[in-house]
Amino acid sequence: MENFVKQLIDNNIEKKLIDKLTNLLSKTKGKFYIINPKENKFRFPYLLYIPNKLESNTLILHGNNLAQEEGNIMNIYSAIFETTSSAGYDLVSLNQPIIVPVTSNYIHPANNNMHEFFPMQASRNVLFSSDSSNTYYKLFDQINNMINDCKNFVFEKVNTTLAEKIICHGFSSSAKFVLRYATCYPEKVSLLIAGGFGNQAFVPLEKITIENKEIELIYPIGVKDINYITGRPFDYHNFKEMKQFYFIGAEEDENNDTAFNFRHTDEDIKGIYEKVFGNIYQNRFDKLAQIYKDLEYNNVEFIRYPNYGHSGTPGIQHTTELIFNYRNL
């Protein structure tokens, strides 16, 4: 990480931010690695944390919540802090390996200013892009390659074989990223944790009837066209087997819901979302939970914390307990 700190200095990053990072690194009982792009595998870097003493061989996938435009060195900076302070949650304290894909947030030239190309949330226009020259083309294929690369890297460094299944953990934008990945590849995930997720968990259906009208549920609302991403039908069995934990604060509102104000998605998605869930934020949470209950998804929890807004909820303690229960020792 010494080279990365030097790059921050060379890029005239504020001293207080550099000091914050060096202080963090001095206290962390493990090492961070920046893994650069590899030809035909992944086109952007990922961050990997390996603790000095592994207490679990289960890899945690976490999204990059505070990403900036593509190529900005602060994307790596934010990825590091995602492992230590995601909504106040210190993942490195679990002493298990963590991977954070260093995604960005930018407007793709093919889109107008209304609809952002938003890799850090795995938005529809990213996953369904046919532009093979784009950095995030076939994004989830790249994530799968990163995970495989990470497992090989950890084995080479500490002679430890990582568990077959991973844990997906995210909050806010990073929650949307990991829940969308886990929904596409549930056979690879033992536990999904998504906090402050804008009530955007998938409806595990291809269509739904609302007021006698049939509505097709496309990505990222439902699973109608997930086969475009994965090359296979949606895996209902493993999705139902995967443990899922979703939580929000009771004081959250539309300002935390990027699907409703469609700043990071397409207008047609907003229209479908409104038809299915309505236009009241907290009611949408209840409707989502009811759908899962009606479908008998008994391995899914929806928790709303009274008197909390978008961050700082007590979900952290529950998250710790879940990870302890679902990780390999």
**CA–centroid distance for 129 within its chain:** 19
Helices marked H in 249-280: 267-277
Lowest mean pLDDT: which of 172-181, 182-191, 305-314? 305-314
Residue 63 contacts residue 100 (beta carbons within 8 Å): yes
Give dist(CA 12, CA 6) in Å, integer.
10
Residue 109 contacts residue 117 (beta carbons within 8 Å): no
Which two three-digit tokens encode residue 301?
Answer: 């929890």
Global pTM?
0.92
Residue-wise pLDDT tens digits, 281-321: 899 999 999 999 999 999 999 999 999 888 777 777 788 88
- Distances in whole angstroms, Cα of residue 252 to Cα of each of 42, 176, 194, 283: 36, 16, 15, 11
Show the domains of the chain with their CATH numbers: 30-326 (3.40.50.1820)
Which two three-digit tokens encode residue 138?
Answer: 């076939």
What does R_g of the chain's alpha carbons equal in angstroms?
19
Angle (CA) 71 76 81, round 5°: 150
CA torsion through residues 300, 104, 27, 153, sign: positive
pLDDT (average), residues 115-120: 73
pLDDT bracket for residue 114 (50, 70, 90): very low
Which two three-digit tokens encode residue 173?
Answer: 């934008």
Place of tokens 């870097």: 45
Residue-wise pLDDT tens digits, 45-90: 999 999 999 999 999 999 888 767 777 888 888 778 777 765 557 8
Give dist(CA 64, CA 171) in Å, integer.
10
Give dist(CA 42, CA 291) in Å, integer.
36
